[in-house]
Structure 1
Amino acid sequence: MFPWFAVGHMTPFLHLSNKLAEKGHTITFLLPTTAEKDLQHFNLHPNLITFHPLTIPHVDGLPAGAEMAWDVPLSLNHLLIIAMDRTRDQVELVIKHTKPKLVVYDFSYWLSEITKPLGIKTINYTVVRAASVAIALVPAPELQGPPTGYPSTNVVMRRHEARALSFISFPSGEGISFYERSTTSMKECDVISIRTCHEIEGRFCDYLASQYIKPVFLTGPILPEPAKTPLEDRWAKWLRGFQPGSIVYCSFGSQYILEKEQFQELLLGFELTGLPFLIALKPPIGASTVEEAFPEGFEERTTGRGVVWGGWVQQLNILAHPSIGCFVNHCGFGSMWEALMNDCQIVLVPYLGDQILNTRLMAEELKVGVEVEREENGWFSKESLCKAVKTVMEKDSEVGNLVRKNHAKWKESLVNPGIMNGYIDKFAKDIQVLVNN
């Protein structure tokens, strides 16, 4: 396993590793040295899953010691991916030493140059929505909207949102764009695999198989096991002080850093709801702590009912707590599944292209959540955030009741062990056939 150096990529790879280890497979998991201790608690089968730390070379322009995407702003991701590419010699040595039958990767488009001469099969594993790949990363000469043959869908992007897909043309390493890196990775592998299920995205998966002319294996969402580490006392005690289903929890992942003005607008929006809230966000651009960016008088006005935390929290434990009634998130693919698998209401504030498409799925196709309305420039107001939260939290809200009903239906389907285990069983059989051919 060799995922991109971001938590949102590494944890799905590790969850998949756990599922394969349950079936007796042995796995070597390549990761940056600094990530090992943070991911260790996700390794449920240390006797079968071996972490192999890589020494990440320094690249000019990166902060000293930066090894993971959470160490750098999005604007420096292209430098971090150069550092990943420069681990190629280390990766090759590990592969030649361990002699695996299969290598699973995502962004390291050069891996096939190592594996093919050795007769090793490869899978390019996509941890974002199939629709995101289908709309932006097919091997078509034009990048102006959905390509010919794209399946009919109500997934659409507003004018200001379409600009969010411009990242596919950005540099993503030395002399290569994100689009070139991603499509080459999929062209050169033996099989494409996607962390999704046929019930939700079957038509997109079939489309990708036709575009890349190769098999597409689905793993299902590969949901994390229920948290085994108890919730920290400070959060458990605070959450117990409120009624069941009354608290609004907000998190935008490890890389989404707001501008100060938008950060303050977000906080004022939560204040405006009148509801208790727990916000876990990185300090905004230009601030070293969340506290120094608070709007004037905000802390005094919300003391006792609101907490803004600038560090890491146990998100799975928090979402499972009975006091949490709403999850405001950026609709990254991991957060999307975590939201679907819990009982809290869902409010969505997407930022990047794939998050926007995930939001379209959640809000407009599955109708399990509500998106915060934005201005034409892409920003949201405290009033629009407050409106979205109240829409799903008020008991007599027609929209709130609809998304609550749909959410319960989809959760029931997704927690069905027969359905999810069926995906892993089929995936395990498919890779056995792959490596034996």
Structure 2
Amino acid sequence: MDNLNGAKPHFVIVPLMAQGHMIPMVDMGLLLASRGATVSFVTTPVNAARIKPVIDGASDAGLPIRFVEFKLPCEEAGVPEGCESFDLLPSVDFRKPLFEAISLLREPLKLYLEEAKPRASCMIADICNWWTTEVARELNIARLVFHGPSCFFLLSSRNIHQSNVYETVADEHESVVVPGLPQRIEITRAQAPGWFFEWKEMQERVMEAEEAAAGVLINTFQELESEHIALYIESTKKMVLPIGPLSLYNKDAKSKATRGNKPSIEEHQILRWLDSMEPRSVLLVSFGSMVRTRPPQLIEIGCALEASGRPFVWVVKEAEKCADVEKWMSEGFEERMRARSLVITGWAPQVVILSHRAVGGFVTHCGWNSTLEAISSGVPMITWPHSGDQFLNEKLVVQVLRIGVSVGIKVPVFHPEEDKVAVERDAIESAIASLMGGGEEGDERRMRARELGEKACKAMAEGGSSYKNMTLLIQFALEQCKQ
């Protein structure tokens, strides 16, 4: 815990109600509280229930963090009751109404801050919560924005937007070179459309909110993206603090297992199975909280895993395990794979799995949390992007860092057709063989991944680059207290 000489800054953290956004911001709140700062973390009843073990653990440890629950006005915004996170929505049609419901927390947040003791000295808002700009301005509270994606994505998106490079293409599938990067990176508009491409008004509000912020926090670390961080600072002319990988705040198996949600399988069962496997022999297959893989594609993945001959942990969501998939699994797959597979239905403690010595590869959708968790554990990846920031994250992993193998996806999957297979089993099996196999290229890829994992741990340790940036963040808030 830091010696704050009696003064305690009070950080108010306002996340977006989405698992990929909430999880790193919870880690950030716990990290700030562990270093002596007072923290108010804004949440809702359903989201608080999902992280109850985390809340209880913080209370037991005596950390100065409050989880402030506001009722989300679902009915008022036209969102089904209880759907307080984007992964709980029954349809993509409810995404915009949920953004609207979250923005209606403006008044409850303002009332809380007017009465908060000690007075809030710094607000940290998810970049998507543009509406917090007005609250911070009215109450004269310094406001920083938190970016969940990689700095590589942020810089690329900013450069694409400012250069209007997409205006030169014939259609959304024609490649362009991303301007202003140290490397030659080609992307299509379909793969990297930018923030809130469907809703221009929201995109403009988000960009205005970032311009109005006093600084930017990013869940990355200096040694991973040094060139891109420097260029981003030059472009934004702001204080930019890389403070990650935030997942490394969680040191023990219990805290790793309870991040985000209660796992559907006890961590000791997973650890016992992993302990029985050879080092770096297991492949983890998991596509984050938002992706919904259709039955034919799930079966193709399963057939490729079986054909690979390698042990694997496969995370299948409850919503994905329909009658067709259940039937296929029960007709021989489960029996044949019993000795070398662990199929988890529901929420899996991903960091617990990735950080185990038995795991040697990760098939991922390239969401930044998952990507950074793999990097932190020194695990190379098979990249299978779906949408959002994921295609640019894939470029970073495969082309810049050279710690991944692409499965070959070229077109985003927004509304996958029931019977369409995006990647055939042979291509999946080939990627697995390339990633997990021997040879000079594979050995060098594993070595680079391992070295980055060591650098990630050093960045978060006392005296590391992210640790120092967290100190600068606390000092910034203390200056606001004085003013």
Q: 1:169 to 1:233 in 2, by over 3 A?
A: closer
Identify the residue that residue 182 of structure 2 maps to in structure 1: 152
**Is 182-191 or 316-325 further displaced after alignment?**
316-325
1:53 to 69, 82, 99: 69
Question: Shift of residue 285 of structure 1?
Answer: 5.8
- Alpha-carbon separation, structure 1, partners of 2:243 and 2:284: 29
What aligned pairs does 1:178-257 form with structure 2 within 5 A after superposition? 179-222=203-246, 223-229=248-254, 232-257=267-292
Deviations 1:131-167 (A, max 9, x none): 212222467383728899733323332x4xx313336
- Alpha-carbon separation, structure 1, partners of 2:233 and 2:391: 23
The yes-or-no answer on 1:69 pairing with 2:86 is yes
Q: Do 1:239 and 1:323's aligned partners in 2 also have CA atoms closer than 8 Å?
A: yes
TM-score in terms of structure 2 length: 0.80
Aligned to 1:67, the other structure's residue is in SS state coil
Identify the residue that residue 439 of structure 2 maps to in structure 1: 397
Q: 1:412 to 1:421 in 2, by over 3 A?
A: same
Identify the residue that residue 114 of structure 2 maps to in structure 1: 96
Q: Do 1:277 and 1:306's aligned partners in 2 also have CA atoms closer than 8 Å?
A: yes
**Is 378-387 or 45-54 further displaced after alignment?**
378-387
2:429 to 383, 386, 396: 386
1:109 to 102, 111, 130: 130
Deviations 1:267-321 (A, max 9, x none): 2211120112211122566937952575964334433322332211222222233
Runs of 5+ consecutive residues of structure 1 not aligned to the other structure: none
Q: 1:120 to 1:132 in 2, by over 3 A?
A: same
Aligned to 1:144, the other structure's residue is in SS state helix
1:7 to 16, 19, 42: 19
Identify the residue that residue 263 of structure 2 maps to in structure 1: none
- Alpha-carbon separation, structure 2, partners of 1:180 and 1:289: 43
Q: Which has the higher contact order (CA 8 A, sep 6+)?
A: 2
AA of the residue aligned to 2:80: P
Runs of 5+ consecutive residues of structure 2 not aligned to the other structure: 1-12, 168-175, 258-265, 414-421
- Alpha-carbon separation, structure 2, partners of 1:256 and 1:353: 11
AA of the residue aligned to 1:407: A
Q: 1:129 to 1:75 in 2, by over 3 A?
A: farther
The yes-or-no answer on 1:411 pairing with 2:461 is no
Identify the residue that residue 266 of structure 1 maps to in structure 2: 301
**Is 230-239 or 115-124 further displaced after alignment?**
230-239
The yes-or-no answer on 1:363 pairing with 2:406 is no
Aligned to 1:56, the other structure's residue is in SS state coil
- Alpha-carbon separation, structure 2, partners of 1:36 and 1:331: 26
- Alpha-carbon separation, structure 2, partners of 1:130 and 1:375: 22
Q: 1:53 to 1:143 in 2, by over 3 A?
A: farther
Aligned to 1:51, the other structure's residue is in SS state strand
Aligned to 2:269, the other structure's residue is in SS state helix
Aligned to 1:163, the other structure's residue is in SS state coil
- Between Structure 1 and Structure 2, how many residues are aligned? 430
Q: Do 2:355 and 2:377's aligned partners in 1 also have CA atoms closer than 8 Å?
A: yes
- Alpha-carbon separation, structure 2, partners of 1:48 and 1:292: 50
Q: 1:63 to 1:294 in 2, by over 3 A?
A: farther
- Alpha-carbon separation, structure 2, partners of 1:220 and 1:115: 25
- Alpha-carbon separation, structure 2, partners of 1:413 and 1:176: 40
2:33 to 14, 17, 21: 21
Question: Shift of residue 385 of structure 1?
Answer: 1.4
The yes-or-no answer on 1:39 pairing with 2:60 is no
- Alpha-carbon separation, structure 1, partners of 2:122 and 2:411: 47
The yes-or-no answer on 1:432 pairing with 2:482 is no
AA of the residue aligned to 1:411: G
- Alpha-carbon separation, structure 2, partners of 1:82 and 1:216: 28
TM-score in terms of structure 1 length: 0.88
**Is 139-148 or 46-55 further displaced after alignment?**
139-148
- Alpha-carbon separation, structure 1, partners of 2:319 and 2:35: 44
Q: Do 1:154 and 1:365's aligned partners in 2 also have CA atoms closer than 8 Å?
A: no
AA of the residue aligned to 1:425: T
Q: 1:236 to 1:201 in 2, by over 3 A?
A: closer
AA of the residue aligned to 1:154: R
